[in-house]
Structures are given as C-alpha cells and as structure tokens.
Amino acid sequence: MAYREMEDVLGTDERDEAATRALGRWRDRTRTAILAAFAIAGLVPGALGYWFVQDLQFRYNHGVALLMINLAGALVPWLVLVFAGRTVARRFVARRLDAKVAELAAAYEIPVARLAATANLVRGL
C-alpha cells in the first residue's frame, strides 16, 4: 500500500447514499440559481409595470393612483418571469440529469443504474 493511500472505508451503500446526496445538492443548487436569476431579471419588468400602471391611473383617474393596483401591475410581470424560471430550471435539470448521474457514479464508484434509479424518482419534481 502506498503512503497515505487508504483502503475503501465507505461501503457500496455509503457511497450510494453520498452520491444521492450530492445529486440532490446539485439539483437544488442548479434550480435555485436559475430561479434566482429569473426573479432578479423580473425586477426590471416589474418596475416598468408599476410605472406604467401608475401612469395610466394618473391619466384616467384625475391624478389619483391606488397603491394596490400599482403593486399588481408590478407583481404580474415579475410572477410571469418567476414561473418561466421555474419551468426553465426544471427542464435544464431534466436534460442534464443523465450526464450528472454518470459523472457522480464514476466519482463515487457505484453502478450508474443504481444512481439512475434514484434520479428517475425525482426527474419530474
């Protein structure tokens, strides 16, 4: 045995659990990053929606604007982008899942089929 080389201290079940946790962390981190990018990008259309709705209210309500209607004008475009981000994140993870499963299976030295079975359970979530 070479210097500092250890024998396998993790069994197959432990490596499988560690790979499953790593896959879950990657999935959550990827989806969160994409969703956050869309939510941040949605701030600009939200601000424009707020301004546009407020301007319409001032113009057609004799200089009076209701804050709740302004906020609805901001919230609608922001929510559209958030839901679009959720859809994009799900599709991105679904497309990259097989490659990530193969990568993690090689890194943790477990059969691809074993990790793929777990990945298929969460594919649509």
pTM of the prediction? 0.81
The C-alpha atoms of residue 43 and residue 40 are separated, in whole angstroms, by 5
In a domain, 2, yes or no: no
Residue 103 structural domain: 25-122
In a domain, 60, yes or no: yes
Write b or e for each residue in 15-30: b if 16 or more Cβ atoms lie within 10 A of its Cβ, otherwise e.
Answer: bbeebbebbeebbeeb
- Helices of type H across 1-125: 12-41, 43-60, 67-108, 112-122
Query: Looking at residue 123, what is its pLDDT?
Result: 74
Query: Looking at residue 13, what is its pLDDT?
Result: 83
In a domain, 97, yes or no: yes
Number of structural domains in the chain: 1
Q: Which residue stretches of the chain have pLDDT < 70? A: 1-10, 124-125
The count of other CB atoms within 10 Å of the CB of residue 106 is 11
In a domain, 13, yes or no: no
In a domain, 52, yes or no: yes
The C-alpha atoms of residue 72 and residue 79 are separated, in whole angstroms, by 10
